[in-house]
């Protein structure tokens, strides 16, 4: 294995509050002494939890990483709406939520579970005509982002706490592209009192969980990969065992005979090395991403 492949893979960070995802990238560049660091699935500064980053050739794998589902623990505050749908924005409306029953909150959550149309927050990172929505908002523009389909597979109420506001602790499992602060906003609107997010912790991104994650302090003390590129591919996709000869062909970007596979697989050679991601296209078993190109 070349040096580039020996240091290629994924680092799963337990992001602290108050940092942007790009801030974490900067820290890892310093810890690992490389500029080739990228991240998948941005987390807002107020959010904590699982942030998956790629190093060296792992950065190229991020675009192919299976992260169709994500999971979060969050707190929704009912009785107050903000300009950003989270605690970092300005209050735009307040209402007394004391009359809300537990049953009404439960019904509101149920209505936002399953396949729904969700309108992302105006301050999201979604690009509109090549410019991120939050940049347009900061420039004083009125931003209208159309609703889009998302899937909320679980939206569980963990606890309802009552005081000046009603704080609802929830666990959410959802499709990639779902905005939890939009769920908070929509729940508050549906209940007629407004709502926003006060805490957010991501617990899962695809097959990667908090059990894989390390703090920045731990990584600074011991800058090592969470998963090698071999482990990352095999964790993310079904494995197809290939021969040495087939592995060599895939490393050169060549295609193999089809085998009746459905979806993307990780091709693994007899020594356990992940050579490439492959997918059947017509009468070819072709490479989607070559982890170990013959040129390295």
Ordered by start, the domain boundaries in the chain are 3-65+209-230, 69-205, 237-290
Distances (CA, A) of 76 to 8, 37, 154, 155, 265: 38, 33, 15, 12, 39
Please tell me the distance from the alpha carbon of residue 275 to that of residue 291, in angstroms, as a whole number: 5
Please tell me the distance from the alpha carbon of residue 70 to that of residue 54, in angstroms, as a whole number: 18
Residues in the chain: 296
Architecture of domain 237-290: Roll (2.30)
Going by CATH, does the domain composed of 69-205 fall within 3.40.50.620?
Answer: no
At residue 277's C-alpha, the angle toward residues 212 and 294, to 5°, is: 110
* pLDDT at position 39: 93
DSSP string, 270-287: TTS-EEEEEEEETTEEEE
Burial 167-185 (b: 16+ CB within 10 A, else e): bbebebbbbebbbbbbbbb
Distances (CA, A) of 136 to 37, 103, 140, 225, 226: 27, 39, 7, 37, 36
* pLDDT at position 1: 44
**DSSP category for residue 146:** P
Residue-wise pLDDT tens digits, 97-153: 999 999 999 999 999 999 999 998 766 666 666 666 556 555 566 667 789 999 999
Ramachandran angles phi, psi of 201, nearest 5°: -135, 120
Strand partners, 209: 204
- CATH fold match for the domains 3-65+209-230 and 69-205: yes
* pLDDT at position 121: 77
**Is 283 within 8 Å of 258 (Cβ atoms)?**
yes
State which residues of the chain have pLDDT below 50. 1-2
Please tell me the distance from the alpha carbon of residue 67 to that of residue 204, in angstroms, as a whole number: 9
- Does the pTM surpass 0.75? The reply is yes
The dotted CATH code for 3-65+209-230 is 3.30.2350.10
**Is 14 within 8 Å of 58 (Cβ atoms)?**
no
Strand partners, 80: 94
Question: Residue 23: which H helix or E strand, with range?
Answer: helix 21-32
* pLDDT at position 244: 95
Q: Coil, strand or helix: which one is 204?
A: strand
Catalytic residues: 44
Both tokens of 253, joined, read 């970007």
């Amino acid at each position: 294995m070349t040096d580039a492949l020996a240091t290629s893979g994924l680092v799963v960070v337990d992001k602290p509050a108050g940092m942007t995802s790009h801030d974490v990238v900067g820290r890892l560049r310093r810890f690992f002494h490389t500029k080739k660091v990228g991240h998948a699935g941005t987390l807002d500064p107020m959010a904590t939890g699982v942030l998956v980053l790629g190093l060296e050739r792992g950065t190229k794998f991020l675009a192919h990483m299976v992260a169709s589902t994500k999971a979060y623990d969050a707190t929704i505050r009912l009785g107050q709406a903000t300009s950003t749908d989270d605690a970092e924005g300005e209050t735009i409306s307040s209402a007394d939520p004391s009359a809300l029953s537990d049953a009404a909150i439960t019904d509101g959550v149920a209505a936002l579970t399953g396949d729904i149309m969700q309108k992302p927050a105006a301050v999201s990172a979604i690009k509109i005509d090549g410019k991120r929505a939050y940049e347009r908002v900061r420039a004083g523009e009125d931003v209208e982002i159309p609703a889009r389909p998302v899937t909320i597979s679980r939206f569980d109420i963990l606890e309802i706490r009552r005081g000046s506001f009603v704080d609802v602790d929830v666990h959410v499992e959802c499709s990639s592209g779902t905005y939890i602060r939009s769920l908070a906003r929509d729940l508050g609107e549906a209940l007629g009192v407004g709502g926003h997010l006060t805490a957010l912790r991501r617990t899962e991104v695809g097959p990667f969980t908090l059990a894989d994650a390390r703090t920045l302090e731990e990584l600074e003390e011991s800058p090592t990969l969470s998963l090698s590129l071999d482990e990352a591919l095999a964790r993310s996709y079904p494995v197809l065992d290939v021969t040495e000869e087939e592995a060599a062909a895939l490393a050169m970007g060549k295609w193999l005979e089809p085998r009746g596979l459905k979806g993307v697989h990780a091709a693994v050679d007899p020594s356990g090395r992940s050579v490439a991601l492959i997918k059947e296209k017509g009468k070819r078993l072709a490479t989607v991403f070559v982890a170990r190109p013959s040129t390295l």
